[in-house]
Structure 1
Amino acid sequence: MKIEGSYKSVGNAGDVKARGTRESAAKPSADAGSKVDVSPLASRLQQLEGTLAGVPEVDAAKVSELKQAISDGRFRVNPEKVADGLIESVRQMLQSQPRQA
């Protein structure tokens, strides 16, 4: 099966470059004095992002405490709490799925 020659040429790279240059020349450029208004919600989100940036993702003190408890043999798993957590996560997962008829 020969595929060569069965396609049509849409131009060469020079045409595309020239067209791109004309289009960019036609677009208005942003002035140095342009002003952008941000909605109150967007402004609040920016504030929250700044606040969260300073919060560590991991509580190093808690991790250290748990490591020490495991090393000392004081760490105990509460199976009821683990089971409750698993059941709750399954409930949330089932609630988030669309209902089927």
Structure 2
Amino acid sequence: MKINDSIKKSADLGIGAPQNRSGKAVDKAGVEKTPSDNVTLSTQARALAGQSGDKGVFNTDKVNEIKAAIANGTFQVDAQRIADGLIDTVKDLISTRKG
């Protein structure tokens, strides 16, 4: 199976993105997106981002390894491991709700 993320790459162009009646790209709230939209992180958010260190949020090498395995058809899903993880998560959610 080959993964094609061309829609994600072209989202800033409004291709594949939700549109209003005039055909302009809009966000979930219906606000028009323009190429000049900017995001500014607060001082606290920048400090938190800096705490992740050099490791980053995820292991890039592992992600690339998984992408390659998916692309060449050798990626295998361990259904038992996924099921166990889901059950553990549900147990945690139930126990925190009771407590």
What TM-score, normalized by structure 2, do the two folds share? 0.45
Higher helix share: 1
What TM-score, normalized by structure 1, do the two folds share? 0.45
